[in-house]
Structures are given as C-alpha cells and as structure tokens.
Structure 1
C-alpha cells in the first residue's frame, strides 16, 4: 500500500465504483491507507476486486468487494444498500466506473450512445443519487469527468459528451446537495498509465501523427510534465476532494492532467 502520512478517513466509509482496476483501484487503496473502510464496486473482474481486498486487508485496511453494474440503476441501489448493511454509514462516494469510446461520427450507433451514456453519465447520476440518500452532513461525492470534456480529439465525441454531462451534473447538484451539507465535485484525469491508456492512448493523437510519433513523444510536447500520470497521482486528487481539506469546495471539476495542452 502507498505510504500515506495522514488519517483523514479514520472511521469513515467509502464506496468506490469501478474499484477493481486502474484509477479506481488506486483510489480505493489511497482511501484505505488513510483509514477508510472501502466498498470496492466492480462489474466483471471479480478476481481483481478480491485480490485488492486481500491486499488492503493484509495491510490493515477494511475492505469488501461487491458486484454492481452501474449501467443498471437497480444494481447501483443494491450496492449502496449492501454497503449500509455492512458498515452502517456512508461518508464518501468515489465514482470511477467508466468506459472509453472512439469512433467517427458516421459510425456512431444508437447502441453505442446508450452504452457509453449508461455507464459514464446515467451510472454516475444514480450513484450520486444513492450516495446522497445515505449520507449526512459532511458527505463527499466525487465523480469522474475527463480532460476530453474540454478538448477536441478526433473520434472522441461520444465519450467527451458523456463526460461533459458529468461536469454539468456536478455544477447543478452542488446547489441542491449543499443545502444538506454534502459536497459534490469531479476529477478530470489526463492520460494515466492504466490498461485503458495502453489500449486507447494512441487514439488521442492527431491521426497524421499516430504513425510518426510514439505516445511518449507526443506527451513530451503536449504536457507540461511530459508523461502519463501514475494512478496513485490521480487518486490523490480524489482523496483531496473526499476529505475535509476540500470542505469549502463544491460544484467544481478539478483537472489532474499534468498540464496537458
């Protein structure tokens, strides 16, 4: 487990959707390292989720893995009800479940739209709804947007639109949830060293550069830090927004992108 020298989440309970891999797994690890009991929501990779539970438990953390497909609001509801049955409270939601999509306009189908928005947008909306229903004053909701929501990338329209909608949800829900003492923000990660980046990273480049420049070379000239983020670096942003250090921050999307330009 990553060495962390604070305990901002002692006696708190967090649900992390998409928590079995990538950024979600790093977020679950960071919150557990700071004292939270963590519910790791996963859709299909049970082995990875259970392996993470074993790792966190061996390091002294409290964690459990629960299957839930956030594209199904009923499964999302069950996830939060099970979390409450197990731990009796909910303090943090880190909504990290998501799906990537690249395709040209003429190839996008209604099924593509339904799939991407069901997970990236509707899934996060109903996760926030369920989290808010079980939180009290001081609750923290952190959703996931993307730097793609504010940057033009070839073939990325559907994905980017699904993430831009998340930023609009965060902004508007902040007023409603603020009356209940709950904050809601989002993280917009840049390129991060995950299996998703391995599969899709080259697609972020201009088509004319994909055969002439490696992803690493492209990042060296389009990012202030010139590299992919490590998942743990992005997870630090989620931990900040989920903590009392961000108590007066709500309705905002925080880019963690290494100065991407």
Structure 2
C-alpha cells in the first residue's frame, strides 16, 4: 500500500527540471488504450511499448487483459483494466463478474467507475454497494475508483466522492474516465489530494491518479507539483501516483531524449 504522506500543512519546495518531470511522468504512466475500436493487436502492441519504455502499467479493456499479461510476463509493468466503464451505470452483478474474470486473467489493478450519477442524485447507498462488491471481487489486486470529477458539481462534491471511495477501500482515487467533456483538472486534483492527505495515520493508505487530457510534459508538471505541494517531497512514485494517458508518452520521451515531439491526437 502507498504511504499516505505528511501531515496537513506540509509544503514541498521541490523544483523539477523538464527532464525530471518527464522521467517522473514516464515512471508513473498507465499507458492506456480504451478506444472503442481497440483490437487485440493494439493491446499487444501497447504492452510491448510499455515494456520497452518502462511505464508503470498498461490500461486496457477487460477482454485484452490475458494477452497483455502474457506480453508483460517477467516485466514489472502492471496490467490494469476498467469496469463499470465509462457510464458508471451498469448493474452490480455484471460488474462483479467482469472484475472476477479480469482478476482471474491476471489483472493487477481494477479501475472502477463510481456510480456517479446515482451519487449525485443522493443515492449514496448505490455507490457504496458497487465499491464494496467490486472491492471484494478485486481480492489481492488494487482497486482504483474513478469518481468522474468533471461531472461532479463542485469541489465539495468531489471531496465527498473521494472520501466515499476511500472509506470503502479504494487503493487509489482517479479523476476521470477520459470519456466525459471535462476530464482531469488541477482543481479536482487538489481536492482529491487534500482528502488523501487527511487519511488518518495508521489507516490504509491511498494513491492518486490523474486521467484524461494530460498530453504534454507541461501538463504533467502541474499535477506533479500539486502532489509535491500537498503530499510532500518524495511522495510521488508508481505506488502512490499515476497518470492515465497514451498521448503523454511521445512528449515525455521527446523531452527525455531531447527530440521534437511527434504530432499526437489521442484523446487519452
């Protein structure tokens, strides 16, 4: 489990160079392909690329988990998948069954979409039932709860959703699916990180994942500096912090290698 970080009020003073930002982003990247038309060949190529460059994980549709596990055998790169995705409105039984199959296929991490529409409508119990049931099905794998922060009404609602996820066993709180009009924002990230910082000492620790619309090293810097500020220097690592993206990879590699960035139009 990731360490929760320093006490409230800690302010980091770390200043990262562009190359250091790019290296941190690469090490914490969940290289993602959740396009509707993604193929088995796409997923296998994604896994090979992740292994080659050393990302934290790949994130693919559940039907591709076993293939990615095979491609990444012997590698430290994790395999993540998504459930109740992207709508957040599927039935609990079906989501649980999909989770069980993904874990049986070798998934290391399950990214679950919170039933955020039910939550917004005041049906907190529905959100609790989903997280609890999927958490049980996840077993030894990590549970990353996507709160779809861009669809929530305010910072206070974002914080309430993050607290709910943490109270019901989330190992990470993730901003977004990348499928809604508003994905990760610095405001949402700050709200979630402040909730994570407030996790009591001795309680299970929680990480943070920013996902959607993060395409450049400059974008990544914003979120890394927020984590440094709120959680303290040294908190960011693959065990505590992730980016969910594919469009980010080319830019961070170009910064590390000192080359121009190829054009990239990926939505993730």
Q: TM-score, normalised by structure 2?
A: 0.38
Which structure has the higher relative contact order (CA within 8 Å, separation 6+)?
2
Higher share of residues assigned helix: 1
